[in-house]
Structure 1
Amino acid sequence: MVRTLTSLARSAPQVGMEIVFLSPEGFSSFPVPSYPGLHLAIPDSHEIARRIEAARPDAIHVATEGPIGHAVRAYCLRHRLPFTTSFTTKFPEYIAARFFVPATWSYGVLRRFHAAGRVTMASTGSLVRELRGRGFRRLGLWTRGVDTELFTPERAAPLDLPRPMFLNVGRVAVEKNLKAFLSLDLPGSKVVIGAGPQLDELKARYPDAHFLGERHGADLAAHIAAADVFVFPSRTDTYGVVQLEALACGVPVAAFPVTGPRDVIGGHAVGVLDEDLRAACLGALNVSRAECRAFALGRSWEASARQFARNVARARIRRPIGTAAGATA
């Protein structure tokens, strides 16, 4: 989600917007049990109000359902200000996988959270339909883009690993379903880039896999470009921007036919979706890398920013509290 928001901010001026972030920086926080490295902010309502009023927004968007998002939502309701929200993560499935809380209960909580907004943005058409089926209302589409200058086939890292190379990039956590990838009998090499609470467990369980730690920016792009197939085993991601980043590098995608991959890949010949993930991985080796690159070139962040602008326009603040173009929480 961080890459999505930073990319939105870079593209916003092209569509007449300025994005001001209300981030957890400056607030106290506490660690999340069973998730090393992840902290939740403890927002102060007076500081939340001060930051919003200093931004003088024309529109307010709540990007997550975390503590900051709840505090901003409460501020808007208290002051009778319209706002929009995003449904970006299938937290009910994450929570069910970690703590065995029924997903139906969690969806009820989220439905009530988003119901107060003017528009709830979802990243794909299938997610819009799924949320509508779960009782969510006032849904809007906000798709994602990719930086095709950063993510390119031309600067592949010279990795000395047996080919073909099957790569996954992302948080190393149970909800990412990495065991479905790492347990496969595949030729060549299995490579994981990322960090997370499941890293030590997976390193011990799959000593044949290569865990390269976190990578960022041009270094990440170069490592993706070095792969033969990008494997996306998650069944709970609502989109998965990293799939587009792989395609921009000319790397085909292998995934399950679920929300996210189904929307990114669809019926296009840039990857293979199959309930048999091994078959998807092997089949993706035959996909044209040039087709993958061409497909990604048509997915710009500017187009994504235009969609976002149309959605937040439906919650424009009519009794102005400022002149900047937006505050995002």
Structure 2
Amino acid sequence: MHIVIASDAWRPQVNGVVRSLENMAAHAAGFGARVHFITPDQFRTLPMPGYPEIRLALTTGRAMQRRLAALQPDYVHIATEGPVGRAVRAACLATGRPFTTSYHTRFPEYVAARMPAPEGLIYGLLRRFHNSGAGVMVSTPSLARELQGRGFRNVMHWSRGVDGVLFRPRRKGLPGLAGPLFLYVGRVAVEKNLDAFLSLDLPGTKVIVGDGPARAELARAWPDACFPGVLTGEALAEVYAACDVFVFPSRTDTFGIVLLEALASGLPIAAFPVTGPRDVIGDSGAGALDEDLRAAALRALRIDPALCRAWGERFTWRASAGQFFNNIIAAHAAVESGPQDAPGLQDAPGPQDASGSQERRPPFPLMLAPDQDGRSPWP
């Protein structure tokens, strides 16, 4: 099957959307799929106000109609709600082409963190955007329930994975930094709530890996913290493994792939009990969730790293990709069968989630390739 995926998030951005799409595409051939991306680097762009590293594409629905007509995909998936995503959505609606979407980012909360804006109005715009598709994929059961409560229809579960070979336990400690080491990895921006982490009275050193519009200000305000900037590959994996606790202060992330990278590296999680950490950690014991983030961080120091590694290994990119492709097939099959089958998408098909609950399987053929030992990729 040939799938066109439209995304406003793309290289050189380093974020969960880009990594999710790249890893899904890397496994596409194993599921009988071929993926073509439509991304901002294919158009003239303008820098996003406040985020110059994010480029906004200048394109139209009519231009996307021509592009889709040339590509002739079997399926279309819209990953983001930006200019590229909106233009592809307009093209699909104009030509009667079904499509799926995914909900990665809490834009209402992110906008509200920067300026006075009614969250209800923004959620209404997002609901209209996603409900025009055949299904909207979300990363956690908690987020699915929340969006359904806000009127989003045909919500489907698409979890995430981690490279357990790259991210693995290694030697502890970083030169020149007093332990224990409390780590954060991700965008350095106001919506990540990093003040809640940096203001904690903790022993040792706080390490903030990443970049963003708030980095310079936070580095000046917290000179005792370490800000090494953006790290990737082996350098990033070594820092994960060298630290003792991963602190995740965000209250607005929809998942947090960094949580899986930390767990695979043997790091316990300290976080608020919100969507993302609550779903990933579940009742595994691999993290401490508390409204008192300091108490959570100190409690996490006592968690066995081996337990964290074992829990992180449950999340694979292969299973994530299988879930994505299965959702594509299920959503389009429901469209072809008629509206009476659409409610079945509320119970998202896929492998076991982190809480251990098994989701209902769809009554559609699955395009799932077995693992090398012949077993199904589903747990």
TM-score clears 0.5? yes
Q: Which amino acid aligns with 1:185?
A: D
The residue type equivalent to 1:86 in the other structure is S
Q: Confirm whether residue 315 of structure 1 aligns to residue 319 of structure 2.
A: no
| Cα distance, 1:46 vs structure 2 | 4.9
Runs (4+) of structure 1 exceeding 6 A deviation are none
- In the alignment, the residues of structure 1 paired with residue 180 and residue 198 of structure 2 have an alpha-carbon distance, to the nearest angstrom, of 15
Return the alpha-carbon distance in structure 2 between the equivalents of residues 177 and 226 of structure 1.
24
Q: Which residue of 2 aligns with 1:26?
A: 42
Equivalent of residue 148 in structure 1, options 131, 141, 164: 164
**Equivalent residue, structure 2, for 1:178:** 194
Helix, strand or coil for the counterpart of 2:203? coil
Q: How many residues align?
A: 319
What's the secondary structure of 1:153's corresponding residue? Answer: coil
**Partner residue of 2:75 out of 47, 59, 71:** 59
Q: Does 1:287 align with 2:322?
A: no
Instruction: Give the alignment's TM-score, normalised by structure 2.
Output: 0.81
Amino acid at match of 2:19: R
- Residues 74 and 222 of structure 1, relative CA distance in 2, 3 Å threshold: same
SS at match of 2:207: strand
Pairs within 5 Å for 1:217-296: 217-296=233-312
Deviation sequence 1:279-322 (CA, Å, 0-9, x none)? 0100000111001111111111111111111111122698xxxx
Which sections of structure 1, spanning at least 5 residues, go unmatched?
319-324
Q: RCO greater where, 1 or 2, for CA within 8 Å and sep 6 or more?
A: 1
How much has 1:155 moved relative to structure 2? 6.4
The alignment's C-alpha RMSD in Å is 1.7
Instruction: Name the % identity.
Output: 54
Structure 2 equivalent of residue 322 of structure 1: none
Q: Which residue identity is paired with 1:35?
A: Y
- Give the Cα–Cα distance (whole angstroms) in 2 for the partners of residues 102 and 200 of structure 1: 29
1:100 and 2:116 aligned: yes
Matches within 5 A, 1:180-219: 180-219=196-235
Residue 64 (structure 1) shift: 0.3
User: What are structure 2's unaligned runs of at least 5 residues?
Assistant: 1-16, 337-366, 368-379
Cα distance in structure 2, aligned partners of 1:227 and 1:49 = 49
SS in 1 for 2:332: coil
What's the CA shift for 1:245?
0.5
- Kept after mapping to 2: 8 A contact 1:22/1:51: no
**CA–CA separation in structure 2 for the residues paired with 1:20 and 1:36:** 26
CA distance in 1, matches of 2:328, 2:219: 43
SS at match of 2:27: helix
Does 2:147 match 1:125?
no
Cα distance in 2 for partners of 1:146, 1:124 equals 16
After alignment, is 97-106 or 72-81 more displaced?
A: 97-106
